[in-house]
A and B are shown apart, each in its own frame.
Chain A
Amino acid sequence: MTTDRERIPSLDDPDVLVQTPATIYDAIPPLTPRTEREAEFYQLEDGEMFLNLGPQHPSTHGVLRVVLKIDGEKVVDLDPVLGYLHRGVEKICEYGDWHHAISNCDPLEYVASMFSEALPVLTAEKLLGLAVPRRADYIRVLAWELNRVASHALFIGWLALDLGGITPILYGFAERDEIMEMLAALTGQKLLFNYLRIGGVNGDLNHDFMSRLGDWMSRAGKQVDSQATLLNENEIFVNRTKGLGVLDQATALRFGMSGPPLRATGAPYDVRRAHPYSVYPELEFDVPTRTDGDSYGRYLLHIEEIKQSLRIIDQVLHQMPDGPVMAKLPRLIRVPPGRAFAALESPRGQYASYAISDGSDQPFRFRIHDPSYFNLQAIGDLTRGHLLADIIAILASLDPVMGGIDK
Chain B
Amino acid sequence: MLRQLDDRLSEHLVVPAEVMDDTIELITWPASLPALMRTVREDGDLRFELLADMCGVDTGVTMQVVYHLWSPLSSDWLRVIADGLSRDDPRVPSVTFLWPGAEWAEREAYDMFGIEFEGNRDLRRIYMPPDYLGFPLRKDFAMPDDASRGPGEGIRHMETPFAPGDVRRDPVIRTSPGAGARIGPDGERLVIAASGSVDKDALDSGVIVEGALDSGRGPA
Contact = CB atoms under 8 A, between A and B. Distances in A.
B127 A364 contact: no
A91 B136 contact: yes
A377 B219 contact: no
Interface in B1-60: 20-23, 49-55, 57-59
B121 A35 contact: yes
Contact of A83 (B77, B129, B219): B129
Given A95-B147, A95-B151, A256 B124 contact: no
A254 B97 CA distance: 10
A242 B164 CA distance: 61
Interface string A59-94: 000000000000000000000001100101011001
B33 to A, nearest CB: 17
A384 interface: no
Contact of A352 (B22, B68, B101, B130): B68
Interface stretch (A196-204, A321-329, A339-347): A339-347
Contacts of A406: 127
B21 A126 contact: yes
A3 B102 CA distance: 63
A402 B30 CA distance: 32
A341 B151 contact: no
A374 interface: yes
A278 B66 CA distance: 25
A335 to B, nearest CB: 12
A297 B134 CA distance: 43
A354 interface: yes
Task: Select the residue from A27, A352, A365 with max chain B CB neighbours within 10 A.
Answer: A365
B129 A369 contact: no
- Chain B interface size, as a band, is 35 or more
A339 B219 contact: yes
A358 interface: yes
Contacts of A357: 219
B101 A28 contact: no
B98 to A, nearest CB: 8
A48 B18 CA distance: 54
A181 interface: no
Contacts of B98: 254
A107 to B, nearest CB: 16
Contacts of A356: 57, 59, 219
A36 B55 contact: no
A406 B57 CA distance: 19
Contacts of A258: 50
Interface string B68-106: 101010011101000000000000000000111111110
Contacts, number: 139
B53 A369 contact: yes
A37 interface: yes
A116 interface: no
Interface string A8-24: 00000000000000000
B154 interface: yes
Contacts of B52: 256, 341, 343, 350, 352, 369
Contacts of A354: 53, 55, 66, 68
Given A36-B121, A341-B53, A377-B104, A28 B130 contact: yes
Contacts of A367: 53, 55, 57, 66
Given A256-B101, A354-B66, A364-B219, A27 B122 contact: no
Given A82-B126, A364-B174, A256 B50 contact: yes
Interface in A392-407: 406-407
Contacts of A208: none
Contact of B127 (A83, A337, A352): A83
Given A83-B129, A352-B53, A367-B55, A254 B176 contact: no
Interface string B97-122: 01111111100000010000000011
B202 interface: no
Interface string B122-166: 111111111100001100000100011011101000000000000
Interface of B: 20-23, 49-55, 57-59, 66, 68, 70, 72, 75-77, 79, 98-105, 112, 121-131, 136-137, 143, 147-148, 150-152, 154, 174, 176-177, 219-220
Given A37-B121, A96-B154, A343-B77, 15 more contacts: A28-B131, A36-B121, A95-B143, A254-B98, A254-B100, A256-B101, A269-B70, A356-B57, A365-B58, A369-B52, A369-B53, A373-B104, A374-B101, A377-B104, A378-B101
11 contacts: A28-B129, A34-B124, A35-B121, A94-B174, A96-B152, A253-B49, A340-B20, A341-B23, A356-B219, A367-B66, A378-B101
Interface of A: 27-29, 34-38, 82-83, 86, 88, 90-91, 94-97, 100, 126, 253-258, 269, 274-276, 337-341, 343, 350, 352, 354, 356-359, 361-362, 364-365, 367, 369, 373-374, 377-378, 406-407
